[in-house]
Amino acid sequence: MGQKVNPNGMRIGITRSWPSTWFARRRRYRELLLQDVQITRYIRETLKDAGIDEIQIDRGKKVTVTINTSKPGVVIGKQGAAIEELKKKLEKRFGTPFDIDIHEIRNPDANPSVIAETIQGQIERRMPYRRAVKMALEKAIQSGALGVKVSISGRLNGAEISRSELFKEGNIPLQTLRANVQLSTRHAVTKYGTIGIQVWVYTGMVFKNIQQMQSSALTSPQQ
């Protein structure tokens, strides 16, 4: 099963939290859920070159949007001008007050969203896809990732028939639920058609340190 399903959705409630955290009455649930999708899509389209990873939405008196990005300077802008402009556009479009928080991705070379976006940009700039993928794999492993897998699908190098190629470095334990495996997808638009990009990254076991702490607490003498 782990080979077929999305590893992000499979681990929600186990090692990952929901990207949207709020409660609503039955009649408003559909409206707010659709609004979350529209907010996320709008931010990704507006900041498509800012290395955006996960967007988290929390609703209270205001809608708090947390943007995880590898390029916080691009999102914030000079003296905060870009983020204020984004906030005003969101408030005008959705008719509700917004707060925007920015979290920097500390290790972008091992982040699947950043890797997929980098490969997408290089393919659209006509770099050979094999070279783009191999460079990304090398950087990810050097940055501490324990395993990386990249799938490229479409009319590769302008071929008449579309095909898929898989590149892999290290280990990706898709069946182990406590393994921190993340998936990101992108689409590169070329003159021959659309190239689909999927990136899996494994960075270690989520519960490893917790287990060590519990084991140490059990073996230590009680006061």
Q: Where are the domains of the chain?
A: 7-104, 108-208
pLDDT tier, 61 (very low <50, low <70, confident <90, very high otherwise): confident
Phi first, then psi: give them for residue 143, nearest 5 degrees: -90, 0
Q: Does domain 108-208 have CATH number 3.30.360.10?
A: no
Q: Kindly report, residue by residue over 5-31, the tens digit of the pLDDT.
A: 888 888 888 888 888 888 888 788 888
Q: Kindly report, residue by residue over 105-151, the tens digit of the pLDDT.
A: 889 999 999 999 999 999 999 999 999 999 999 999 999 999 999 99
Longest dimension (CA), the chain: 74
pLDDT at 95: 86
Q: Report the alpha-carbon distance of residue 86 to residue 108 in Å, rounded.
A: 23
Percent of the chain topping pLDDT 70: 91
Q: Kindly report, residue by residue over 174-190, the tens digit of the pLDDT.
A: 888 888 899 999 999 99
pLDDT tier, 158 (very low <50, low <70, confident <90, very high otherwise): confident
Q: Report the alpha-carbon distance of residue 148 to residue 158 in Å, rounded.
A: 26
SS3 201: strand
Q: Report the alpha-carbon distance of residue 74 to residue 64 in Å, rounded.
A: 19
SS3 219: helix
pLDDT at 218: 46
pLDDT at 175: 84
Q: Do residues 125 and 95 make contact, with C-beta atoms less than 8 angstroms apart?
A: no
Q: What is the pLDDT of the chain when averaged over all its residues?
A: 86
SS3 214: helix
The residue ranking higher by pLDDT, 132 or 214, is 132
Q: Kindly report, residue by residue over 36-49, the tens digit of the pLDDT.
A: 999 999 999 888 88
pLDDT at 2: 57
Q: What does each C-alpha distance from 13 to 9, 30, 39, 200, 205 come to in angstroms? A: 9, 21, 23, 19, 16
Which residue type is seen at 46? T
pLDDT at 213: 43
pLDDT at 50: 84
Output the pTM of the full model: 0.83
- CATH T-level fold of 7-104: GMP Synthetase; Chain A, domain 3 (3.30.300)
